[in-house]
Each structure stands twice: as C-alpha cells, then as structure tokens.
Amino acid sequence: MFKTMKLGKKLLIAFLLVGVTPAILVGIAAVWEASSALSAQAFNQLEGVRGIKKAQIELAVPQRCCSVEHFFH
C-alpha cells in the first residue's frame, strides 16, 4: 500500500502521526492528572465537613443532655 503512494502523501501521514500521537498522549495524561486532583480535592473537602459535623455533634450532645436533665428534675 505504501509503495503505490506518492511521496507527498507518505510525508503527510508521517507528519500527522508524529504530531497527533504526542498530542493525544499529553491529553490523556492531562485528563488522568486532573481526575486524580479533583478526586483528592473532593476527598479533602469531605474530610473537612466531617470534622465540622463531628465538632457540632460533640457540642450539641452535652447541651441536650443538660436540657433533658433539667427537664426531669
């Protein structure tokens, strides 16, 4: 197949392969890195929210216990 092609077409195909292949690989790597970074950021935000909710619960439970104790005494 390549033997019957003109030199111009062969060069065009070669240049396209040399140019497009690295661009595709860089694009795939960028998507992979972005996905990993977004996952890590989401996980960190969830950990932060967990800490905030834990602190809120730790403050609310003793207050509720005191309220209940006063109600029954």
pLDDT at 57 over 70: yes
> Would you say the pTM of this structure is higher than 0.75?
no
At 1-12, the pLDDT tens digits run 778 889 999 999
At 24-42, the pLDDT tens digits run 999 999 999 999 999 999 9
C-alpha to C-alpha distances, 15 to 5, 35, 50, nearest whole angstrom: 15, 31, 53
Report the pLDDT value the prediction gives residue 66, as an integer from 0 to 100.
73
CA 28, distance to chain mean position in Å, is 14
Ordered by start, the domain boundaries in the chain are 29-73
